């Protein structure tokens, strides 16, 4: 089974033939909503809207631990996390798609680990390559098969939100080597690794980041949703191809 976490602009997966919905309880509280099960081209898919069905949960209040823990119980082969981001580099222009290969965490005050029990031995994870290479390749291959241009690699800066950044903050992220900026990449990516899930992000550039491109005076928030709406058509098309690539690999 493949899992898809939908971000802003993707509260549902319209190409999914839904079979049922399931509420999964976890020791960490409630996930963002029920998990939707169904099929795309006859492959089993489970979908979760990160911000809730009605897009009501802000990035800093998403229960990332509950979401990832619940997903783990379903044992998906791959988790594809769709995420809206701002573009810091010129080539990360609105509407671009990217599969980042690195991440920097600037978030704070979030429950960021499963390994904080005093009753268990101290546990570390390797996080040199934060995204699973096979899952990244699956997305990249699918995008190419779908005939979509997609950027292979990039550093995702995870900020706290829910406000957008200042121009100076974006300049700092730029100096740190970040290419795109979003609010949900962490701790989700690290928690997925802690649970041993194959996880990668399909980033959708919704806007130029603060002070970049034509956003010197401000980021036009209304345009973000219009861009996301347009881009989601491509994302859905890529996901359909992900399913096919995965099916080809597995002979199903
Ligand atoms: N900054 C942070 N998160 C975002 C942005 C941004 O400019 N655009 C979409 N998500």
Query: Per-residue pLDDT tens for 119-156?
Result: 989 999 999 999 999 999 999 999 999 999 999 999 99
Element (H, E) at 247: helix 221-250
Over 90: is that where the pLDDT of 78 sits?
Answer: yes
What is the percentage of the chain residues whose pLDDT exceeds 70? 100
Ligand 1 closest atom vs CA 209: 7
Place of tokens 């290479």: 133
Nearest-atom number in ligand 1 for the CA of 59 is: 3
Which among 157, 156, 150, 155 has a CA at the least distance from the CA of 234?
150
49 C-beta closer than 6 A to ligand 1: no
Answer yes or no: is the C-beta of 165 below 6 A from any ligand 1 atom.
yes
pLDDT higher than 90, residue 57: yes
> What b-and-e string marks burial along 205-244, b requiring 16 or more CB atoms within 10 Å of the CB?
bbbbbbbbbebeeebeeeebeebbeebbebbbbbbbbbbb
* Average pLDDT of the residues in 106-130: 95
Higher-confidence residue of 17 and 74: namely 74
134 C-alpha to center of ligand 1: Å? 26
Residue 85, ligand 1, Cβ within 6 A: yes
pLDDT of residue 52: 95
Asked whether residue 246 carries a pLDDT value surpassing 90, the answer given is no
Instruction: Decide: 206 in ligand 1 pocket, CB within 6 A.
Output: yes
Average pLDDT of span 92-110: 98
Q: What is the pLDDT of residue 34?
A: 97
Mean pLDDT value of segment 245-249:
82
Q: Is the model's pLDDT at 15 over the cut of 90? A: no
Whether 252 shows a pLDDT value over 80: the answer reads no
Question: Which atom of ligand 1 is found nearest the CA of 83?
Answer: 10
- Furthest-apart CA atoms within the chain: distance in Å: 52
Q: What is the pLDDT of residues 183-240, one digit of tens each?
A: 999 999 999 999 999 999 999 999 999 999 999 999 999 889 999 999 999 999 999 9
Mean pLDDT of 25-40: 96
CA of 234 to the centre of ligand 1 (A): 19
Determine the pLDDT at residue 249: 79
pLDDT at 242 (0 to 100): 93
Three-state DSSP string of 158-175: ECCCCCCCCHHHHHHHHH
Buried b (16+ CB within 10 A) or exposed e, 103-121: bbbbbeebebebeeeeeee
pLDDT of residue 136: 98
Percent of the chain exceeding pLDDT 90 equals 87
> Where does 105-220 have alpha helices with state H?
133-145, 167-176, 185-194
Identify the residue with better confidence: 12 or 28. Answer: 28
What pLDDT is stored for residue 83 in this prediction? 97
Cα 196 to middle of ligand 1, angstroms = 27
Residue 251 has pLDDT above 80, yes or no: no
Distance CA 252, CA 243 (A): 10
Protein residue with its CA nearest to atom 7 in ligand 1: 86
Q: Whose CA is nearest to atom 5 of ligand 1?
A: 86
At residue 170, does pLDDT exceed 90?
Answer: yes
Query: What domains does the chain contain, in order, with CATH numbers?
Result: 2-114+131-250 (3.40.50.1580)
Nearest CA to ligand 1 atom 9: 85
Mean predicted lDDT score pLDDT of the chain: 95
């Amino acid at each position: 089974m493949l899992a898809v976490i939908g971000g802003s602009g993707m509260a549902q997966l319209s190409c999914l033939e839904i079979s049922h919905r399931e509420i999964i309880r976890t020791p960490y509280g409630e996930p963002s909503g029920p998990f939707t099960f169904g099929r795309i081209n006859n492959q089993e898919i489970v979908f979760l809207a990160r911000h809730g069905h009605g897009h009501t949960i802000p990035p800093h209040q998403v229960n990332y631990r509950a979401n990832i823990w619940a997903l783990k119980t379903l044992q998906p082969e791959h988790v594809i996390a769709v995420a809206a981001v701002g573009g810091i580099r010129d080539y990360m222009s609105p509407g671009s798609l990217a599969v980042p290969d690195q991440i920097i965490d600037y978030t704070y005050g979030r429950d960021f680990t499963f390994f904080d029990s005093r009753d268990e031995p101290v546990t570390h994870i390797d996080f040199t390559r934060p995204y699973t290479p096979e899952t990244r390749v699956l997305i990249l291959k699918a995008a190419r098969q779908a005939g979509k241009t997609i950027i292979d690699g990039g550093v995702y800066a995870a900020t706290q939100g829910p406000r957008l950044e200042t121009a100076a903050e974006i300049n700092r992220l730029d100096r740190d080597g970040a290419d795109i900026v979003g609010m949900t990449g962490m701790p989700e990516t690290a928690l997925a690794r802690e649970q041993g899930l194959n996880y990668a992000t399909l980033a959708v550039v919704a806007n130029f980041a603060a002070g970049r491109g034509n956003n010197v005076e401000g980021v036009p928030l209304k345009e973000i949703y219009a861009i996301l709406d347009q881009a989601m058509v491509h994302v859905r098309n890529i996901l359909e191809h992900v399913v096919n690539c995965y099916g080809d690999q597995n002979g199903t």
